[in-house]
Structure 1
Amino acid sequence: MQVLALCGSRGLVELPAIAVDSSLMDANASRGSSKQLPRLGTVIAWCEGGISMLLDSARDHARRVGTGDTTDDAEDEPRRDDWPGLSRLCDLLVRARTARDRLRQRALPSDNGIRIKAQAAERIVTRAEKRLAAETAAHQEKLRKYQARTEAGRAAGRQRPGARPHG
Protein backbone atom coordinates (compact mmCIF):
# COMPACT_ATOMS: atom_id res chain seq x y z
CA MET A 1 0.00 0.00 0.00
CA GLN A 2 2.84 2.40 0.81
CA VAL A 3 4.50 1.74 -2.54
CA LEU A 4 1.21 2.33 -4.36
CA ALA A 5 0.59 5.52 -2.38
CA LEU A 6 4.09 6.75 -3.17
CA CYS A 7 3.70 5.92 -6.88
CA GLY A 8 0.30 7.59 -6.91
CA SER A 9 1.66 10.74 -5.27
CA ARG A 10 4.35 10.93 -7.96
CA GLY A 11 1.81 10.43 -10.75
CA LEU A 12 3.29 7.10 -11.85
CA VAL A 13 0.01 5.20 -11.51
CA GLU A 14 -3.66 6.02 -11.35
CA LEU A 15 -4.88 4.67 -8.04
CA PRO A 16 -8.47 3.80 -9.10
CA ALA A 17 -7.10 1.37 -11.70
CA ILE A 18 -4.86 -0.76 -9.44
CA ALA A 19 -5.16 -4.55 -9.35
CA VAL A 20 -3.01 -6.67 -7.05
CA ASP A 21 -1.93 -10.26 -7.49
CA SER A 22 0.03 -12.47 -5.13
CA SER A 23 3.24 -12.85 -7.14
CA LEU A 24 6.29 -13.63 -5.06
CA MET A 25 9.40 -11.61 -5.86
CA ASP A 26 12.93 -11.53 -4.57
CA ALA A 27 13.54 -8.42 -2.52
CA ASN A 28 16.52 -6.74 -0.94
CA ALA A 29 14.79 -5.41 2.16
CA SER A 30 14.44 -6.76 5.66
CA ARG A 31 13.20 -5.57 8.99
CA GLY A 32 16.81 -5.01 10.00
CA SER A 33 17.42 -2.73 7.04
CA SER A 34 14.44 -0.52 7.86
CA LYS A 35 15.53 2.37 10.02
CA GLN A 36 13.70 4.92 12.09
CA LEU A 37 14.85 8.52 12.53
CA PRO A 38 16.77 8.00 15.82
CA ARG A 39 18.60 4.99 14.39
CA LEU A 40 19.39 6.88 11.18
CA GLY A 41 20.83 9.70 13.30
CA THR A 42 23.07 7.19 15.06
CA VAL A 43 24.22 5.69 11.74
CA ILE A 44 24.92 9.16 10.33
CA ALA A 45 26.95 10.17 13.39
CA TRP A 46 28.86 6.86 13.29
CA CYS A 47 29.67 7.32 9.57
CA GLU A 48 30.75 10.92 10.07
CA GLY A 49 33.00 9.85 12.97
CA GLY A 50 34.53 7.02 10.94
CA ILE A 51 35.13 9.28 7.94
CA SER A 52 36.69 11.93 10.16
CA MET A 53 38.94 9.34 11.80
CA LEU A 54 40.10 7.96 8.45
CA LEU A 55 40.75 11.44 7.03
CA ASP A 56 42.63 12.53 10.17
CA SER A 57 44.72 9.37 9.99
CA ALA A 58 45.49 9.97 6.30
CA ARG A 59 46.33 13.63 7.03
CA ASP A 60 48.72 12.61 9.84
CA HIS A 61 50.35 10.03 7.61
CA ALA A 62 50.78 12.62 4.83
CA ARG A 63 52.43 15.04 7.30
CA ARG A 64 54.84 12.33 8.48
CA VAL A 65 55.70 11.43 4.91
CA GLY A 66 56.13 15.14 4.10
CA THR A 67 58.55 15.62 7.00
CA GLY A 68 60.49 12.48 6.06
CA ASP A 69 59.37 10.44 9.08
CA THR A 70 58.77 7.07 7.43
CA THR A 71 59.12 4.88 10.50
CA ASP A 72 56.57 2.12 10.71
CA ASP A 73 53.77 2.82 13.11
CA ALA A 74 52.32 0.33 15.52
CA GLU A 75 50.28 -2.36 13.82
CA ASP A 76 47.20 -1.70 15.94
CA GLU A 77 46.62 1.69 14.26
CA PRO A 78 44.18 1.76 11.35
CA ARG A 79 45.57 1.70 7.84
CA ARG A 80 46.01 5.14 6.34
CA ASP A 81 45.12 4.02 2.84
CA ASP A 82 41.74 2.47 3.64
CA TRP A 83 40.04 4.03 0.62
CA PRO A 84 37.59 1.14 0.18
CA GLY A 85 36.53 1.59 3.82
CA LEU A 86 36.20 5.33 3.29
CA SER A 87 34.13 4.71 0.17
CA ARG A 88 31.82 2.31 2.04
CA LEU A 89 31.36 4.82 4.87
CA CYS A 90 30.61 7.64 2.43
CA ASP A 91 28.10 5.45 0.58
CA LEU A 92 26.39 4.46 3.84
CA LEU A 93 26.36 8.10 4.96
CA VAL A 94 24.71 9.24 1.72
CA ARG A 95 22.09 6.46 1.90
CA ALA A 96 21.34 7.19 5.58
CA ARG A 97 20.98 10.93 4.95
CA THR A 98 18.72 10.26 1.95
CA ALA A 99 16.56 7.88 4.01
CA ARG A 100 16.39 10.41 6.86
CA ASP A 101 15.36 13.21 4.49
CA ARG A 102 12.70 11.00 2.89
CA LEU A 103 11.30 10.02 6.29
CA ARG A 104 11.15 13.66 7.32
CA GLN A 105 9.50 14.61 4.02
CA ARG A 106 6.96 11.82 4.39
CA ALA A 107 6.21 12.94 7.95
CA LEU A 108 5.28 16.42 6.75
CA PRO A 109 1.64 16.87 5.85
CA SER A 110 0.83 17.61 2.24
CA ASP A 111 -0.49 21.02 1.21
CA ASN A 112 -3.92 19.47 0.79
CA GLY A 113 -3.67 17.89 4.26
CA ILE A 114 -2.76 21.23 5.80
CA ARG A 115 -5.65 22.92 4.01
CA ILE A 116 -8.11 20.24 5.20
CA LYS A 117 -6.87 20.55 8.79
CA ALA A 118 -7.06 24.34 8.66
CA GLN A 119 -10.64 24.19 7.36
CA ALA A 120 -11.59 21.71 10.08
CA ALA A 121 -10.03 23.99 12.72
CA GLU A 122 -11.97 26.96 11.34
CA ARG A 123 -15.22 24.96 11.56
CA ILE A 124 -14.43 23.98 15.15
CA VAL A 125 -13.68 27.60 16.07
CA THR A 126 -16.90 28.80 14.40
CA ARG A 127 -18.96 26.20 16.31
CA ALA A 128 -17.22 27.12 19.57
CA GLU A 129 -17.88 30.85 18.99
CA LYS A 130 -21.58 30.15 18.29
CA ARG A 131 -21.85 28.02 21.43
CA LEU A 132 -20.06 30.66 23.48
CA ALA A 133 -22.40 33.36 22.15
CA ALA A 134 -25.47 31.23 22.94
CA GLU A 135 -24.27 30.42 26.46
CA THR A 136 -23.30 34.05 27.07
CA ALA A 137 -26.76 35.18 25.96
CA ALA A 138 -28.43 32.58 28.21
CA HIS A 139 -26.26 33.63 31.14
CA GLN A 140 -27.01 37.32 30.52
CA GLU A 141 -30.74 36.48 30.49
CA LYS A 142 -30.40 34.66 33.83
CA LEU A 143 -28.55 37.64 35.29
CA ARG A 144 -31.22 40.01 33.98
CA LYS A 145 -34.00 37.90 35.56
CA TYR A 146 -32.08 37.69 38.85
CA GLN A 147 -31.56 41.44 38.89
CA ALA A 148 -35.27 42.00 38.14
CA ARG A 149 -36.24 39.67 41.03
CA THR A 150 -33.78 41.42 43.33
CA GLU A 151 -35.20 44.85 42.48
CA ALA A 152 -38.78 43.57 42.85
CA GLY A 153 -37.87 42.07 46.22
CA ARG A 154 -36.29 45.28 47.46
CA ALA A 155 -39.33 47.21 46.28
CA ALA A 156 -41.44 44.77 48.36
CA GLY A 157 -39.22 45.37 51.40
CA ARG A 158 -37.00 42.27 51.18
CA GLN A 159 -33.29 42.60 51.73
CA ARG A 160 -32.35 39.45 49.77
CA PRO A 161 -33.99 37.79 46.79
CA GLY A 162 -36.46 35.20 47.99
CA ALA A 163 -36.38 36.45 51.59
CA ARG A 164 -39.58 37.29 53.54
CA PRO A 165 -40.54 40.91 53.75
CA HIS A 166 -39.98 42.75 57.02
CA GLY A 167 -43.13 43.47 58.72
Structure 2
Amino acid sequence: YGKILQTNTTLRSLALTGNHLRSGDAKDIAFGLANNTNLISLNLWNNYIGDDGATEISNALLSNKTLKNLRLGSNSIGNTGAKAFGNALLENTSLKYIGLGSNKISDVAVLAHALNTNPTLENLCLGDNEVEDTGAVAIGKALCENGECALKDLDLNWNR
Protein backbone atom coordinates (compact mmCIF):
# COMPACT_ATOMS: atom_id res chain seq x y z
CA TYR A 1 0.00 0.00 0.00
CA GLY A 2 2.91 2.34 0.63
CA LYS A 3 4.01 2.36 -3.00
CA ILE A 4 0.44 2.98 -4.14
CA LEU A 5 0.13 5.97 -1.82
CA GLN A 6 3.48 7.30 -2.92
CA THR A 7 2.84 7.14 -6.67
CA ASN A 8 -0.93 7.38 -7.17
CA THR A 9 -2.15 10.89 -7.97
CA THR A 10 -5.91 10.28 -8.09
CA LEU A 11 -6.79 8.30 -4.95
CA ARG A 12 -8.57 10.50 -2.39
CA SER A 13 -9.87 7.90 0.06
CA LEU A 14 -8.47 4.54 1.16
CA ALA A 15 -10.36 2.14 3.44
CA LEU A 16 -8.55 -0.95 4.68
CA THR A 17 -10.94 -1.88 7.48
CA GLY A 18 -10.61 -5.37 8.94
CA ASN A 19 -7.69 -6.51 6.79
CA HIS A 20 -5.56 -7.90 9.65
CA LEU A 21 -2.92 -5.23 9.07
CA ARG A 22 -0.06 -5.23 11.56
CA SER A 23 2.60 -2.72 12.57
CA GLY A 24 4.80 -3.63 9.58
CA ASP A 25 1.92 -2.91 7.22
CA ALA A 26 1.32 0.39 9.01
CA LYS A 27 4.99 1.27 8.52
CA ASP A 28 4.59 0.65 4.78
CA ILE A 29 1.42 2.76 4.67
CA ALA A 30 3.14 5.52 6.67
CA PHE A 31 6.00 5.63 4.18
CA GLY A 32 3.56 6.25 1.34
CA LEU A 33 1.44 8.64 3.39
CA ALA A 34 4.42 10.83 4.25
CA ASN A 35 4.96 11.57 0.56
CA ASN A 36 1.34 11.59 -0.61
CA THR A 37 -0.27 14.86 -1.66
CA ASN A 38 -3.76 13.66 -2.65
CA LEU A 39 -5.21 11.35 -0.02
CA ILE A 40 -7.86 13.02 2.13
CA SER A 41 -9.23 10.05 4.09
CA LEU A 42 -7.52 6.95 5.49
CA ASN A 43 -9.56 4.30 7.31
CA LEU A 44 -7.60 1.56 9.06
CA TRP A 45 -10.35 0.63 11.52
CA ASN A 46 -10.27 -2.85 13.08
CA ASN A 47 -6.73 -3.99 12.38
CA TYR A 48 -3.76 -4.80 14.62
CA ILE A 49 -1.34 -1.94 14.09
CA GLY A 50 -0.70 -1.33 17.81
CA ASP A 51 1.54 1.36 19.26
CA ASP A 52 4.39 0.75 16.82
CA GLY A 53 2.18 1.14 13.77
CA ALA A 54 0.41 4.14 15.30
CA THR A 55 3.77 5.81 15.92
CA GLU A 56 4.80 5.25 12.30
CA ILE A 57 1.57 6.77 11.00
CA SER A 58 1.79 9.70 13.40
CA ASN A 59 5.33 10.41 12.17
CA ALA A 60 4.00 10.50 8.60
CA LEU A 61 1.55 13.20 9.68
CA LEU A 62 4.49 15.51 10.33
CA SER A 63 5.13 15.79 6.59
CA ASN A 64 1.70 14.99 5.11
CA LYS A 65 -0.28 18.18 4.53
CA THR A 66 -3.43 16.85 2.84
CA LEU A 67 -4.94 14.10 5.02
CA LYS A 68 -8.08 15.36 6.75
CA ASN A 69 -9.71 12.17 8.13
CA LEU A 70 -7.88 9.39 9.92
CA ARG A 71 -9.74 6.43 11.43
CA LEU A 72 -7.71 4.12 13.63
CA GLY A 73 -10.31 2.68 15.97
CA SER A 74 -10.03 -0.89 17.22
CA ASN A 75 -6.30 -1.28 16.59
CA SER A 76 -4.88 -2.13 20.04
CA ILE A 77 -3.35 1.34 20.30
CA GLY A 78 -2.26 2.26 23.81
CA ASN A 79 -0.71 5.25 25.51
CA THR A 80 2.49 5.22 23.44
CA GLY A 81 0.50 5.54 20.22
CA ALA A 82 -1.76 8.21 21.72
CA LYS A 83 1.27 10.25 22.77
CA ALA A 84 2.72 9.96 19.27
CA PHE A 85 -0.52 11.30 17.78
CA GLY A 86 -0.60 14.09 20.34
CA ASN A 87 2.91 15.13 19.34
CA ALA A 88 2.03 14.96 15.64
CA LEU A 89 -1.02 17.17 16.22
CA LEU A 90 1.24 19.85 17.65
CA GLU A 91 2.59 20.33 14.11
CA ASN A 92 0.02 18.90 11.69
CA THR A 93 -2.51 21.46 10.48
CA SER A 94 -4.46 19.44 7.91
CA LEU A 95 -6.22 16.81 10.04
CA LYS A 96 -9.82 17.61 10.90
CA TYR A 97 -10.88 14.20 12.27
CA ILE A 98 -8.97 11.54 14.14
CA GLY A 99 -10.75 8.43 15.36
CA LEU A 100 -8.99 6.50 18.10
CA GLY A 101 -12.04 4.81 19.60
CA SER A 102 -12.10 1.21 20.86
CA ASN A 103 -8.41 1.09 21.72
CA LYS A 104 -6.49 0.85 25.01
CA ILE A 105 -5.79 4.52 25.66
CA SER A 106 -5.84 5.85 29.22
CA ASP A 107 -3.25 8.67 29.17
CA VAL A 108 -4.53 11.56 27.06
CA ALA A 109 -2.33 14.35 28.47
CA VAL A 110 -0.37 14.88 25.24
CA LEU A 111 -3.56 14.79 23.17
CA ALA A 112 -5.11 17.34 25.53
CA HIS A 113 -2.08 19.59 25.14
CA ALA A 114 -2.35 19.29 21.34
CA LEU A 115 -5.95 20.50 21.50
CA ASN A 116 -4.61 23.65 23.08
CA THR A 117 -2.43 24.43 20.06
CA ASN A 118 -3.87 22.66 17.00
CA PRO A 119 -5.91 25.10 14.88
CA THR A 120 -7.65 22.59 12.59
CA LEU A 121 -8.74 19.44 14.45
CA GLU A 122 -12.54 19.54 14.61
CA ASN A 123 -13.43 16.01 15.72
CA LEU A 124 -11.66 13.71 18.18
CA CYS A 125 -13.03 10.25 18.95
CA LEU A 126 -11.69 8.59 22.09
CA GLY A 127 -14.81 6.57 22.86
CA ASP A 128 -14.52 3.05 24.31
CA ASN A 129 -11.02 3.45 25.71
CA GLU A 130 -9.71 3.57 29.28
CA VAL A 131 -9.71 7.35 29.79
CA GLU A 132 -10.31 8.18 33.44
CA ASP A 133 -11.60 11.35 35.08
CA THR A 134 -8.18 13.02 35.17
CA GLY A 135 -7.81 12.60 31.42
CA ALA A 136 -11.28 13.94 30.74
CA VAL A 137 -10.55 16.92 32.98
CA ALA A 138 -7.27 17.59 31.11
CA ILE A 139 -9.17 17.64 27.82
CA GLY A 140 -11.82 19.91 29.32
CA LYS A 141 -9.18 22.34 30.56
CA ALA A 142 -7.53 22.38 27.14
CA LEU A 143 -10.85 23.28 25.56
CA CYS A 144 -11.47 26.06 28.08
CA GLU A 145 -7.98 27.54 27.90
CA ASN A 146 -7.79 27.86 24.14
CA GLY A 147 -10.21 30.35 22.66
CA GLU A 148 -8.87 29.39 19.23
CA CYS A 149 -9.61 25.67 19.62
CA ALA A 150 -11.20 24.29 16.46
CA LEU A 151 -12.68 21.18 18.13
CA LYS A 152 -16.42 20.84 17.54
CA ASP A 153 -17.05 17.16 18.33
CA LEU A 154 -15.49 15.17 21.17
CA ASP A 155 -16.42 11.54 21.81
CA LEU A 156 -15.52 10.21 25.25
CA ASN A 157 -18.33 7.62 25.44
CA TRP A 158 -17.71 4.32 27.20
CA ASN A 159 -14.61 5.25 29.16
CA ARG A 160 -13.97 4.89 32.89
Q: TM-score range by the shorter chain?
A: under 0.3
Larger Rg: 1
